[in-house]
Amino acid sequence: MTMDLYLDSADRTALEPLLATGLFRGVTTNPLILQRGDVRLDAVPDLVGWLLERTSEVFVQTTAHGVDAIVTEGHALRALSDRLVVKVPATQDGLAATRRLADDDVPVLVTAVYDARQAVLAAAAGARWIAPYLGRMTESGRDGHAQVAQMVRVLEGTGTQVLVASIRTVDDVVTLAAAGAHAVTLGAAVAQDLFVEPLTDAALAQFDEAVATLR
């Protein structure tokens, strides 16, 4: 199984060269990501348009509170594009809203997931995705990788996939791929680190030296 790669950023300058590689399926955002990218809520439609010119899929999180308000906002976000996935926090109201949105054929990612029981609830709500926060789980003293692996097992055959967020290192990416995670979303710095391998650089330098003698 190929693990899909996403970028977790709203910084156009950082995103553009990474998206140009064609290796990243889409872009995920949340209010903190928007804040760091200096993107106000009224500028989200413009950001979504810019992103969808460069990639296949965009995730945008609801900011409302209360089931009805989350559902209304979710429909408004989905109206921006049929390639937009609505993100909803894994609260009781968020999960109830997810059920209603899923019943209306709106794809939903349940986000800020920290425990496998939340994965069970998200599947029951008809979520397309869950987003466990690996780094935050680990930093809180939990075994983040073990939790994610359990979520993958719990969700097998349900139609709900695991898109892991809050990833701190490229080693995490490899471990998650081996554990069967369906996708990861990476900050720009971690995404750039995926391409760094000193031994490859050294081999390329030797190739270039050899080419120079062959001209």
Say if CB 102 and CB 127 are below 8 A apart.
yes
How many CB atoms lie under 10 A from the CB of residue 73?
20
Catalytic residue among 4, 24, 61, 87: 87
120 burial type by CB count under 10 A (0-12 exposed, 13-18 middle, 19+ buried): middle
Q: Of 11, 40, 128, 110, which Cα lies nearest the Cα of 70?
A: 110
Residue linked to tokens 């693990």: 3
β-strand partners of 162: 130
Q: Of 38, 2, 37, 10, which Cα lies nearest the Cα of 26?
A: 10
Give catalytic status of residue 34 as yes or no: no
> What CA–CA distance (Å, rounded) separates 145 from 151?
10
Q: Considering just the CA atoms, what is the radius of gyration of the chain in Å?
A: 19
Q: Which residues are catalytic?
A: 87
